[in-house]
Amino acid sequence: QKEVEQNSGPLSVPEGAIASLNCTYSDRGSQSFFWYRQYSGKSPELIMFIYSNGDKEDGRFTAQLNKASQYVSLLIRDSQPSDSATYLCAVRYGQNFVFGPGTRLSVLP
Amino acid sequence: DVKVTQSSRYLVKRTGEKVFLECVQDMDHENMFWYRQDPGLGLRLIYFSYDVKMKEKGDIPEGYSVSREKKERFSLILESASTNQTSMYLCASSFPGSGRLYEQYFGPGTRLTVT
């Protein structure tokens, strides 16, 4: 059984701080890694993907991948109240995706 | 712009009814998926399809079936709805191929309540 784990939170950070979200996965055969943001009552929307070791930056978001440790993280710099949402980590295995339970982030004004 | 639409945002059905949830995508994606999402359990895969008339069971297929007669349309069927099928149902689609990219795009979801 392929598993993806995340801390459920809530993770609370003050506005302007860095939010750090973590995800571990069980299968070394994983190929691609995705971070989705989901606002309450809405469907997930993709914010970042990464497939090779190291960091990938897009605006205020940085995804980090360490395949040896089977670990993916998402950093959100200069956090804003509008970043308050649940963040889902997803791992692609072949044609399928396995999602973590999500981490609820709360950015306090 | 990728668009995945679902037939209803909210649906209320009675126990024992047959329920149809429709999903349509306009990006010519081969792969389509049905998930349910419940608090504390995350997204769980019910069924997926790689091509027209093709279907594969996901992690929780019991009590569900699917139909894919056309590439753009993927239907989820609850043969006899039960209260434990009350949930948010999400449809998604993606391009095929293994490897690096090919993220999933999600529809807006259908919140189904079975009474």
What is the distance between the alpha carbons of residues A52 and B104, in angstroms, rounded to a whole number? 19
The alpha carbon of residue B7 is apart from the nearest alpha carbon of chain A, in Å, by 15
Which one of B23, B38, B103 makes the best mutation probe of the A interface by having the most chain A beta carbons within 10 Å? Answer: B103
Closest CB to B107 among A43, A88, A98: A43
Helix (H, G, I), strand (E, B) or coil at B32: strand
Contacts of A8 in chain B (CB under 8 A): 40
Contacts of B96 in chain A (CB under 8 A): 95
| Contacts across the A-B interface (CB distance below 8 Å) | 57
pLDDT tens per residue across span B4-53: 999 999 999 999 999 999 999 998 888 999 999 998 788 999 999 988 98
Percent of chain B with pLDDT over 90: 74
**pLDDT of amino acid B44:** 92
pLDDT tens per residue across span A81-98: 999 999 999 988 777 788
Strand partners, A4: A25
The alpha carbon of residue A108 is apart from the nearest alpha carbon of chain B, in Å, by 23
Residue A2 tokens read as 């392929």
Confidence band, pLDDT 50/70/90 cuts, at residue B100: very low
The alpha carbon of residue B97 is apart from the nearest alpha carbon of chain A, in Å, by 7
**pLDDT of amino acid B101:** 58
**pLDDT of amino acid A52:** 78
The alpha carbon of residue A96 is apart from the nearest alpha carbon of chain B, in Å, by 8
Confidence band, pLDDT 50/70/90 cuts, at residue A39: very high
Cβ distance A3 to A67 under 8 Å? Answer: no
Which one of A34, A95, A98 makes the best mutation probe of the B interface by having the most chain B beta carbons within 10 Å? Answer: A95
Is the four-CA dihedral A43, B92, A69, A65 of positive or negative sign? negative
Element (H, E) at B98: none
What is the distance between the alpha carbons of residues A5 and B42, in angstroms, rounded to a whole number? 10
